[in-house]
Amino acid sequence: MSQVPRPARARRRRVAAVALALLGLLLAPAALPSAASPRSPSGTGPAPAATRVAAGGTAALAGYAIRSTAEVPDTAAAVSTPGYATAGWHRAGPRSTVLAALVADGTHPDPFYSTDQQRIPRGDFSVPWWFRSDFTLPDTSERTSLDFSGVVSAADVYVNGRQVASAADVAGVYTRHELDITALVRAGTNTVAFRVRPNDPRKHLTLGWLDWLQPPPDANMGLVRDVLVRRRGPVSLHDAHVVTRLELPTPSPTATVAAASAELTVKAQVRNDSQESATTIVTATVSGTGIVLREDVVLRAGEVRTLIFSPDRHPQLRLAQPALWWPAGMGAQNLYGLDLTATVAGSRSDSVRHTFGIREVKAPLNSAGARQYSVNGRPLLIRGAGWSADELLRWDTTAAEDRIRAALDAGLNTLRLEGHLEPDEFFDLADRHGILTLPGWECCNKWEGPVNPSGSGEKWGAADRLTARASMAAEAARLRSHPSVLSFLIGSDFAPDAATERDYLDALHAADWPTPVIPAAADVTTALSGPSGMRMPGPYDWVPPSYWYDKREGGATGFNSETSAGPSVPTLDTLRRMLSPAELETLWKSPSAPQYHRSPSPTYNTLKLFNDALARRYGAPHGLGDYVAKAQLSQYENVRAQFEAYARNATDASAPSTGVIYWMFNSGWTSLHWQLIDRYLDRGGAYYGAKKANEPLHIQYSYDDRTVAVINRRPAAVSGLTARVTLFGTDGTSRYDRTVRGLQVGGDGARTTALTVPALAEGQDLPDSTYLARLTLTDGAGREVSRNVYWLSTRPDVLDYGSSDWYHTPVTAHGDLTGLKSLAAATVTATARTTQHAGGRSTTTVTVRNTGSGNTPALLTDVRLVDGLDAPVLPVRWDDNQISLWPGESAVLTAEYRAADVRGDAPRIRISGWNTPTTHITPDPS
């Protein structure tokens, strides 16, 4: 294949996908009965009870009655009048797309299973839909407003029979709107009605699904963030935030050295909403510091004034040795709270509260032109993955927290959000758990319409430019105080044009944006922002593990903003939940068949590259179970290699790796495509490959030069380590064994090389072309702190870099791992004990032993918690899993889970593996 010239080659992975996916707007996913699935508040029945808004309070509308305008002949004035009858309308939750509500009440089938989403007619969503809700007020003595964003794609807004905004004004999912409705409300019941317009990501500055998954037929039309009813006195507070300035000691601190000082500046807009002058006392307090500030402000009628509490006027805003916010693994996630209150004539008129963290993020370009991030003066390798929202944009805090915990458990430190900017709770969770986030705009649709010649987005008009700037301003104000936010990417595949870039940068500057702004996720340079310091050369489909070690294409150099080896076949448990029996047969019998659950893109709608490589490297599958087992081996080795290569090259003197975003972490529906963890939070080879590679203290093998290195991601240096490497033939015979003692390695991602493994040759040293490498690392007390097992071939995978295209590099010869089929069956036994804890948590500890004779290892032994019907209990966090044990070796594995997620009988343990027969045991109670 001929190469696509740069820079046009920058992430063109979506070109074919976008045209097909967005023109079709085929289908949508829905929640499935699982603890990991978002729990929709929508359902059948009449409209929810009216939302009560207390005096001086703020309340989110509790839900809506919704119906297609094609089925509602009445006028907007009638629909938005209290008492209007909604019999026959659908019920929707407080944040809901149309389809989310229709799936929840059973109108449409579960679109996550098989091809059931094709049964959902697209035509139902080609006209506007009404979203109607009631709220009650005790009186009309205060000013009342509607405050909201999250409209997909636009809406006309009515209150008590009167229009208060048009779709021309309320357009764009990220724009924020405050509508003063004081003159329209009454004591008692009031009604707000949104006439929501259909969405098309090609035409509107909203969101789409590109080539990630089959897009929903309603294109996410709806209200997907809270609509707040606010009540205030005559003076209101707006845009309150804290600007932090950190002074670090010299030299840069270690984990045990606190920051020298920090300066805080408190800002807010104070607005007099009354028709006469007002004197207000504004009080600001910062939790955990003892800081209390006060300012008397005199405002003319309708006047807006920016109030600033600065360290120059208030020295107490200078903090000595503040509690810093750190990413997980680097320190504590310390947070402060700002409380701001406006008082008029002795009564509270308005108040606001939000949290913030004190931290400093820098991302200069290194000598090779790559972004090198540091937090609080300490550099870090970005180990991230792409985050996907639920396809129907349903929000569930518990489900999101489960996923964030899983990302951290896999050793990731960053999640990239391309366009699908989750609600506030997501960023609150990220702050609390210490995972960094990379939000930014979306590629290939309307957002890049003026600049992406290969995308499907339409060009912008004057109204679009206003919407884009308003979107940037609103999201900058919303996200600026979250210490987890690492940067904002104002472009994805392409940088915005000069005028748009200026608009974005002006909006960010006006919001006091505190972290680096990146012009694009691709390798571009703009006049205002300069070089992006990022690149996206792919790949997006299968390449062999050795690919990642070469500093070409998507290999381990610089900052690769999205990349992976493409397909990710879930566990057999998940496959049986998401595919029909016929689809399961096609999955392994027809390697080139289109797969509906992969992608709408003709580039990615089959598993051909993956399946061909699987058959050539591991042998053609002889059944579904064999296919899935080989897929797990392949995904484990490939994902592990990707993260290990970037970790190894991070300390190189020339062109080091500085960041990698695995594309992607999760999927918004049931998928065969781009995921480390599946829809139900079941974890297979891809996940455990990442978890192994990203261990805090880790021993690893390099596919390119056969070196064995130790990587230390802990803050402190480690010494007195012992590395041992043993090579085995598939007959179990040891062919090489070497131990290196007295190793030491620095902290924060430092590397030391222990040894170089000799090359083995088939026929000379081995019974076939496949062999195993067992790497162990022990500390000074002899405790094993890292174990890593590789299955390798004397025949290398040969890459044809000259024929690379934008999504993969072809392979002209494959490694031969078919010798794994000759491994003798291993005997694994286990004992287990379950302990119940306060707060509804449980742990099950499993001791696994290879009790076989001879030298045959139990390869990739998988331990699962299952219920009485042998269905997996999910989500579960295992401290380690998919381990390989030689005869006489044992390991203790611990599972943590919610006791409520175990349905029916007490849980059991299922044990299986590559060459281990499946067995079950019942844990003993504690």
Give the residue numbers annotated as catalytic, written as ranges.
493, 562
From the list 104, 97, 101, the residue with the least C-alpha distance to 25 is: 97
Tokens representing residue 525 in the block:
């340079």
DSSP, collapsed to helix, strand or coil, labels residue 423 as coil
β-strand partners of 861: 883
Question: Which is nearest to 474 in space by CA: 439, 449, 448?
Answer: 439
Q: Which amino acid, one-letter code, is at 719?
A: S
- Tell me the pairing of strands 858-866 and 908-913: antiparallel
The secondary structure of 435-504, three-state, reads: CEEEEECCCCCHHHCCCCCCCCCCCCCHHHHHHHHHHHHHHHHHHCCCCCECCEECCCCCCCCHHHHHHH
What angle do the packed helices 397-409 and 424-433 form, to 10 degrees? Answer: 40
What DSSP string describes 31-70? --SSTTS-----BSSSPPPPEE--TT-EEE---EEEEEGG
List helix spans (H) across 220-323.
none
Q: Which of 316, 318, 320 is nearest to 259 (CA)?
A: 320
H or E element in which residue 408 lies: helix 397-409
- 3-state secondary structure (DSSP) of residue 286: strand
Q: Whole-angstrom Cα distance, residue 46 to residue 86?
A: 7
Distances, alpha carbon 46 to alpha carbons 132, 236, 457, 613, in Å: 11, 36, 39, 54
Nearest alpha carbon to residue 516 among 414, 448, 440: 440
Separation of alpha carbons 210 and 600, rounded Å: 9
Q: Rounded distance, CA 782 to CA 576, Å?
A: 43
- DSSP letter string, 133-154: EEEEES-SSSEEEEEE--EESB
Residues 217 and 24: their CA atoms lie apart, in Å, by 8
For residue 779, give the amino acid letter.
Answer: D
Cβ atoms of 236 and 255 closer than 8 Å: no
If residue 431 lies in a helix (H) or strand (E), which one and from where to where? helix 424-433
Q: What DSSP letter does each residue of 629-670 carry, written as one string?
A: HHHHHHHHHHHHHHHHHHHHGGG-SSS-EEEEEES-S--SSS
HSE-up of residue 498 (Cα within 13 Å, Cβ side) = 2
The type of residue at 57 is G
- What DSSP string runs through 253-270? --TTS--SEEEEEEEEEE
Structure tokens at 47: 């409209």
Backbone angles phi, psi at 658, to 5 degrees: -120, -15
> Phi and psi at residue 497, in whole multiples of 5°?
-65, 170
What is residue 906's DSSP assignment?
P
Distance CA 790, CA 549 (A): 16
